[in-house]
Structure 1
């Protein structure tokens, strides 16, 4: 078994590769828990589908099993309880096979990496599983997004093989990467999720990496979501204040995070907003206003002149 550090997590080699693990060691006490090393340690999942990582624990007794993501040393589950705000993660126990399965719904490329199944012994015992997330091949009878003509980067392709590129669910916040709003106005952010085979199960909005609470004491925060072939989520923040500035992120269940930076202005105008097309637009509006005023003045003047002539003619 790998030695455990002071923080209770087992250290991995710097390369990030899985540590070697032979057959399960025979415990000194026949009632001690141990891992069945025959459980797969390399798992491949498809983008947008569920991934299942399993470890089989013998003689668990009164100990608990946890799943930990090594990318950020984040405890995902303890027993059957989930300890992450990402609702895609769920632990399932199958008593008949002694298996503890970590399910990752709507797997994304960012989910790839090493996961640790850990028994709460002293020291802890760990079983590492590596997850690969790949784009699916063409199912029978289905049409791909487009065929890839250039196969030179595919060393494992057989002669005559056909390669396809698939559209992966993508989130985008319109108007980014920087948005400027006036203090006291309403911040209106629109997140669009495209190329998704089905609408996301949920969409979280973040401000400075903190989940936005719609019922906080601040008030005036609401979200409207329209699901369809293209799912759109609108984040509305009324009475914008300087403290509302910063990074905003849209995080759907089935796509990577999209972010923009919002700048709440207290009357000032950045140089980028004073030049270019905005400046040209203001100048054009001023000229148009002068032309309209001149036209109205001329029309009134001609009308008065006509009335004067008619009055003089009547007096004669």
Structure 2
């Protein structure tokens, strides 16, 4: 049987029961199904800074055992069962009713939350499943220098990339001098090509550049993400 001493340490005590058929036996655990991890859960989690991170653990045949979440580097106990054992209220255990899921939810994720977490079954011996959490800050950037020089009549091609986003942004907005670009305007020749993948790439293409096309262009990949900016100069030959 596993006992806990305060918040951050463990000690164990063997519960021995007399066996009338001869000898001693340790509890009656041999008659119970053995708790096992369902390993079909993500072991590497990426979350955006300031957002909510969720770490998943599934256990079959839990029986009367309990589930704990710990920081693996310092063995600091975060949760036990449905209770939070840390003073940091951002950490919360979730066990949806009728499921074998034991989720560690971390609200307002911070850089210092990155690291290895341990989902632990209070069996004898203890069983552990490790999950790595990475906290990232999505970054939008425009390829090349922060100023671009093109000749009148040439093509302006501005490429924006979004890095460190756990999933592609729902949309990428292009602005010219802080105003949304109208791709259906009478000017014509303006288009956007976007490829959503691990790194999202969006290219703004403006054909037959005129002096009016000069100015500041920005790429916005979400409300929480700082836009990437480039200054375009259209030269008269």
TM-score, normalization by structure 2: 0.48
The structure in which a higher percent of residues are strand is: 2
TM-score, normalization by structure 1: 0.37
Report which of the two structures shows the higher radius of gyration computed on alpha carbons.
Answer: 1
Larger RCO, structure (CA 8 Å, separation 6 or more): 2
The structure in which a higher percent of residues are helix is: 1
